[in-house]
Amino acid sequence: MRYLPHTAADRTAMLAAIGVDSIDDLFKDVPAGALLSGPIDGLPPHEGELGVERALGRMAARNVPAGSVPSFLGAGAYRHHVPASVDYLIQRGEFLTAYTPYQPEVSQGTLQTLFEFQTQVAAITGMEVANASMYDGATACAEAVMMAARLTRRDRTVFSGGVHPHYRDVTRNLVDFTGGTLVEADPDPTGTETLLDLLDDQTACVVVQNPTLFGQVADLSELADACHAKGALLVVVVTEVVSLGLMTPPGDMGADIVVAEGQSIGNSLNFGGPYVGLFATRQRFVRQMPGRLCGQTVDADGKRGFVLTLSTREQHIRREKATSNICTNSGLCALAFTIHLTLLGETGFHRLAELNHELAIAAADRLSSIDGVSVLNSGFFNEFTISLPGPAASIVDRLAEEPILAGVPVSRLYRDRPDLAPLLLVAVTETTTEDDIERLAIALGREVAQ
């Protein structure tokens, strides 16, 4: 074996050292009925390396890559163009093998890139301080809820019906074991919900997404004021970070904590990861912010330098007394984010967002012209919800055979809500062409007419 190059004599010596006669003895505590008596049905016998490559290649060929066909997939993971220079730079040895160190002063380059990343995240979210990244947007959301509980000394969280259910589920996984209460509003495709009635004096925070799962865009200023009047914090989730190039930053609308999925910038679709979570907050809350924080300083000679600060909050040092269990950061993905955003600059980031929005408007106009198809959104960035005459999932399956990836059926995220079955989330980015939109419209029109 590549990573366990033990000979038979080595294994015999190890077994003797722990006082057992055979490898089977290591599993004697497993009930006999739970042990396999033979090969697992359906699994092929072992193959050589070439045979395995061929078998896995045949399996992979059954996938339809989003970049090979018209794709309108979104719902939290978006296909954007990543310049070739991003991959080239992050694959340089000094970046690819670097890791946020426990003796940070010896890795000034790594710390500087993380400091620049934090600066960019704070700027686009409209916040005062950001950390050196989280695992992904969903876990960042859960960390924000726990941070709000520590700050307010309350344990009740209100979740908007526009928040992606995966973010809610990840948060619930943690809240269930920390003794908190999670109050969920119903799914809100039309953007008409009001959360004010759910606020009370025991609420630690209200979690909203902007744009919502369904693409709705909202001014959160009134909600922020209402939260603060009750002593609660407003947590804003952003799953499409490119939207911050055009929309009012959450910080400017009164958000106390902003979490986001940074995948759209610098990081391509990768079957669910690795991605990069963004986390930003107000300066006065910085000591309760999870994760690592890189700071800028000067050395004894007055030269600019960088340090890893406030790390004693973390689990690897404080164990169960830590503010968070996160012990690392998505360093390479954060670097890709920083390089891409640096290449874009402020003007390019704004223009990229404009292009996404313009193409989404064109798609919404074209699809809404189809008899039986209606757009539910009063406003959107680059993703919107359409209503179809029948279940969206079956139509999506048929269009995938053409192949066109028509979007994400809401029923895939809410399996227990048959009333949402006709809804389809359609995402459009700068990688979408006018021909892609027309192909979707023609195919969708044909399906709806049947």
The answer to which of 25-39, 113-127, 134-148, 365-379 has the lowest mean pLDDT is: 25-39
Residue 105: per-residue pLDDT: 67
Structure tokens at 66: 């989003």
Does the pLDDT value for residue 1 go beyond 60? no
Q: Tell which CATH architecture fits domain 69-80+345-449.
A: Alpha-Beta Complex (3.90)
In the chain, count H helices and then E strands. 12, 13
How many angstroms separate the CA atoms of 167 and 443, rounded? Answer: 32
Report, as an integer, the average pLDDT of 158-176: 96
pLDDT digits 0-9 by tens, 413-440: 999 999 999 999 999 999 999 999 999 9
Which of 178, 216, 105, 185 lies closest to 324 in space, CA to CA?
Answer: 178
pTM exceeding 0.85? yes
Residue 137: per-residue pLDDT: 97
Read off the DSSP letter of residue 181.
E
How many angstroms separate the CA atoms of 209 and 260, rounded? Answer: 9
pLDDT digits 0-9 by tens, 192-240: 999 999 999 999 999 999 999 999 999 999 999 999 999 999 999 999 9
Report, as an integer, the average pLDDT of 11-38: 91
CB contact set of 258 (below 8 Å; sequence gap of 6+): 125, 126, 127, 235, 236, 238, 249, 250, 251, 278, 279, 280, 281
Over the chain, what is the mean pLDDT? 93
Residue 203: per-residue pLDDT: 98
Residue 273: per-residue pLDDT: 84
How many angstroms separate the CA atoms of 394 and 385, rounded? Answer: 16
The answer to which of 147-161, 174-188, 303-317, 327-341 has the lowest mean pLDDT is: 303-317
Residue 323: per-residue pLDDT: 85
Q: What is the CATH number of domain 84-340?
A: 3.40.640.10
* Band of pLDDT at residue 42, cut at 50, 70 and 90: confident
- Whether 203 and 223 have beta carbons less than 8 Å apart is answered as no
Phi, then psi, of 160 in degrees rounded to 5 = -65, 150
Report which of residues 102 and 375 the model is more confident about. Answer: 375
Question: Cis bond leading into 389, ω under 30°?
Answer: no
pLDDT digits 0-9 by tens, 303-347: 999 988 887 777 677 777 888 878 778 889 999 999 999 999 999
Locate the domains of the chain by residue range. 69-80+345-449, 84-340
How many angstroms separate the CA atoms of 287 and 173, rounded? Answer: 24
* Band of pLDDT at residue 102, cut at 50, 70 and 90: low
Which of 306, 285, 288 lies closest to 297 in space, CA to CA?
Answer: 306
Instruction: Enumerate the H helices of 179-279 as residue ranges.
Output: 221-229
Residue written as token pair 């007419």? 449
Measured CA distances, 20 to 5, 46, 323 (Å): 21, 28, 43
Phi, then psi, of 135 in degrees rounded to 5 = -65, -45
Does the pLDDT value for residue 165 go beyond 80? yes
Residue 314: per-residue pLDDT: 72
* Band of pLDDT at residue 100, cut at 50, 70 and 90: low
Question: Cis bond leading into 274, ω under 30°?
Answer: yes
